Structure 1
Amino acid sequence: MDTPAIATRRSIWSGVLIGVGVAAFVDETVFHQLLHWHHFYDKSTADVGLVSDGFFHAGGWLAIVVGLFLFADLQRRRAASGNRLWGGGFLGWGAFQLYDGLIQHKVFGLHQIRYHVDVLPYDVVWNVAGGAGVLIGLLLLRRAAQRSSTQPVA
């Protein structure tokens, strides 16, 4: 039998993985495929960029699948925490946005959100949205922790 602490961590991690995967899916689908603004790796040929997008897309789906397997196991055990799952989801999505916007775009220079335009407005919106996701996730996780600490033990 799992302890409540293990179920709590699994609920959070399930949400984080699903959140990261959804963020990657939306990024790759909207900005890479539909708008053609960039590839995951833009420092080479278009073919290399397309292959890098494939690996990126596969990684996003892998995160979703692993997160859903964790969630299914929690459901089977009747141990899933919706608030922790949602909190982890927002945290994962926001952390992905911030990592992508700050580390991949600025530190590593793998790609920019968009080329041949002033990127500052795009960077601000991208990173503020990511920061908002992290804050929402942390608030949801904090609320879930407060609720569980005030509930009587059976």
Structure 2
Amino acid sequence: MAGNETKDRSIYSKRNLWSGILFGVGLIAFIDETVFHQILRWHHFYDKSTTDIGLISDGLFHAFSWFATIGGLFMFTDLRRRNALWLRRWWGGVFLGAGVFQLYDGTIQHKLMRIHQIRYVDHLIIYDVIWNTTAILMIIIGLTLIVQTRNSQQPGKDASHEHQ
């Protein structure tokens, strides 16, 4: 039986992490698309073409963000139903997913691929530093939470039913 418990912990540990990561990616993408694309109108997902293409790319990006968010929440609900939710680990995944996505956006999409910038202004570096520093802080918070839960899952400790 101990072998099955260890296997279940490993499976649920990964599911908690991936549920949080999916939700985090979806949430930060939703915030990016809603705030920077729609409300502030600083850029579109794809700015190398017409405004119509930019709007279509925003719609596809918005759909992606909702699929990721909903997928993460379906996994979250399943974990709750199975009494296998490790909330701290899930939050670690949320911060990690959001941070990695934002850092990818700020470095790969903004600088390497140049499909859009945060904002088209002089002194863009200020926006880039804030964007990427925030991403790195989210990654650090996420990794810290994940490492804390990894240590609490040592044999003999019952972390599999944490509801904090």
TM-score when normalising by structure 2: 0.90
Alignment partner, residue 149 of structure 1 = 154
The Cα offsets for residues 78-110 of structure 1, whole Å up to 9 and x where unpaired, read as 111101100000000100110000000011101
Alignment partner, residue 27 of structure 2 = 22
- SS of the aligned residue for 1:116 comes to coil
Q: Which stretches in structure 1 are left out of the alignment for 5+ residues?
A: none
Alignment partner, residue 124 of structure 1 = 129
Code of the residue aligned with 1:40 in structure 2: it is F
Alignment partner, residue 80 of structure 1 = 85
CA distance in 1, matches of 2:68, 2:107: 21
Code of the residue aligned with 2:67 in structure 1: it is L
The Cα offsets for residues 1-49 of structure 1, whole Å up to 9 and x where unpaired, read as 8711000000000000000011001000000000010000000000000
CA distance in 2, matches of 1:131, 1:150: 32
- SS of the aligned residue for 1:114 comes to coil
| 1:97 is the counterpart of 2:102 | yes
Sequence identity of aligned pairs in percent?
52
CA distance in 2, matches of 1:86, 1:58: 23
Of 52, 70, 91, the residue aligned with 1:47 is 52
How much has 1:151 moved relative to structure 2? 4.4
C-alpha root-mean-square deviation of aligned residues, in Å? 1.3
Code of the residue aligned with 1:133 in structure 2: it is M
Alignment partner, residue 6 of structure 1 = 11
The Cα offsets for residues 30-80 of structure 1, whole Å up to 9 and x where unpaired, read as 000000100000000000000000000000000001001111111111111
Alignment partner, residue 64 of structure 2 = 59
How much has 1:146 moved relative to structure 2? 1.1
TM-score when normalising by structure 1: 0.96
Of 4, 17, 33, the residue aligned with 2:38 is 33
Aligned positions of 1:103-114 closer than 5 A? 103-114=108-119
